[in-house]
Amino acid sequence: MVDRRHFIKNTAGGLAALGGLTLLQRSGLAAATGNGQATIPDALPGKEALIKQTYRPPNYETPINYFDTPFTPNNQFFVRYHNAVIPEVKPGEWRLRIGGDAIRTPLEFSLEQLRKDFEHVEIAALCLCSGNRRGAFEPPVPGLQWGSGAMGNALWRGVRLKDVLAGAGIDKSALEVSLAGADSGVLPTTPNFVKSLPLAKALDQNTLIAFEMNGEPLPHWNGFPARLIIPGWTATYWLKHLTALNVISEPFDGFWMKNAYRIPKDRFPGGQFGSQETETTMPITEILVNSLITNLEDGQTLPNAKTIEIKGVAWDSGNGIAKVEVSADGGGNWQQAALKQDYGRFSWRQWHSVFEPKHPGQYRIMARATSHSGATQPLEPVPNPSGYHHNAVQKITIRLV
């Protein structure tokens, strides 16, 4: 694995020196004239056609009409990478290394050891990209222009991170755990996607190293053979193709903690990460209460009927969903939706509602979730420079004819 990565880096690093353009043109990478397209469906190997945001690194979101099942099928699950070199990890060769200056004994595990040596745990949890719905911010915010499909709910099976770290002997000086995976940038100068967690979150009983998703091995594009599951926190911490965990006594200072995935301090409720906070900003952490209508789209025309069904999902950081209210008249009247089966506080909750239109015409449909902590969705998203945490109440217009 390491050899291959070095080979790729060295080879690609020679691109510019060799007169990269000609080679790029030969390879079909170079672009011709014309206009770009915003989003198009495209299938990665092993995946159904999803909504393509970028080809390389691969970023694909799930069409919302696929969200009609409690658990998002693996071959429809969204894909999000920051760097383009994504090795196909051989399970027999994969190793997880535990190190850092705040442990007493460095450890190394094979996949088999990880499966055999620790208790297995299964948790239903929503994996939600921090930038989901960024494309809905006005004015537009640069970054991947995600719709509502950079998320998925799954049943994750693995072992507790705290059990795995215990044998290493965590020192009193431990502050954070840094997280690294097998993927990397094309050039050796590009920072790897490395994140860190506060020690307490790393040792939370719900923080898992998962090797199964919905009863199957993790798909390659979702982190095979093992990834982190941080229920209730946005997916930026859910490291894929996990290879190294370092328990450290100083705040991790890589690009992906210090410069990216940050929000203005005191603008959003909940979530703390003291060792990574500055006077003005902090890392994004907890998922905000949110909901999505999954069976109707803005601008859709439907035949008028006695009853119109409205379905969707709702979620938060782990308090659980207390209620979902639906309005069919632009927020004048609200009625409570029926909540479907509860798969646990980190899972999204499916909901269902019907309204009886009095006549054909236009209807403004809205849905608003409230969590058990009492938090509810705002009518407008809270502006922030990177376009994270879009959790405004959806407002869609349908036409009955």
State the residues that interact with another protein by CB under 8 A.
Answer: 7-8, 11-12, 14-16, 18, 20-21, 23-38, 40, 42, 44, 52-58, 84-85, 140, 142, 144-145, 185-191, 255, 259
Residue 79 CB burial class (10 angstroms; 0-12, 13-18, ≥19):
buried
Nearer to another protein, 142 or 374 (CB): 142
Nearer to another protein, 55 or 329 (CB): 55
Is 214 in contact with 151 (CB distance < 8 Å)? no
Nearer to another protein, 65 or 259 (CB): 259
As a whole number of angstroms, the distance between CA 63 and CA 294 comes to 9
What is the pairing mode between strands 40-42 and 301-302? unpaired
Report the candidate in 111, 168, 132, 42 with the shortest Cα–Cα distance to residue 315.
132
| Nearest distance from C-beta of residue 390 to another protein, angstroms | 16
| Nearest distance from C-beta of residue 28 to another protein, angstroms | 5
As a whole number of angstroms, the distance between CA 248 and CA 158 comes to 24
As a whole number of angstroms, the distance between CA 2 and CA 184 comes to 11
| Nearest distance from C-beta of residue 32 to another protein, angstroms | 5
Is 371 in contact with 266 (CB distance < 8 Å)? no
Nearer to another protein, 84 or 302 (CB): 84
| Nearest distance from C-beta of residue 337 to another protein, angstroms | 34
| Residue 228 CB contacts under 8 Å (≥ 6 apart), including other chains | 161, 179, 207, 208, 209, 210, 237, 238, 239, 242
Nearer to another protein, 139 or 303 (CB): 139
Nearer to another protein, 186 or 396 (CB): 186
For the CA atoms of the chain, what is the radius of gyration?
Answer: 22
| Nearest distance from C-beta of residue 100 to another protein, angstroms | 24
Nearer to another protein, 22 or 335 (CB): 22
As a whole number of angstroms, the distance between CA 247 and CA 258 comes to 18
Q: Which two tokens stand for residue 65?
A: 């009409």
| Nearest distance from C-beta of residue 217 to another protein, angstroms | 22
Is 228 in contact with 161 (CB distance < 8 Å)? yes
| Nearest distance from C-beta of residue 143 to another protein, angstroms | 9
Torsion 145-274-122-184 (CA) sign: positive
Nearer to another protein, 259 or 362 (CB): 259
Nearer to another protein, 14 or 330 (CB): 14
As a whole number of angstroms, the distance between CA 330 and CA 338 comes to 20
| Nearest distance from C-beta of residue 52 to another protein, angstroms | 7
| Nearest distance from C-beta of residue 86 to another protein, angstroms | 8
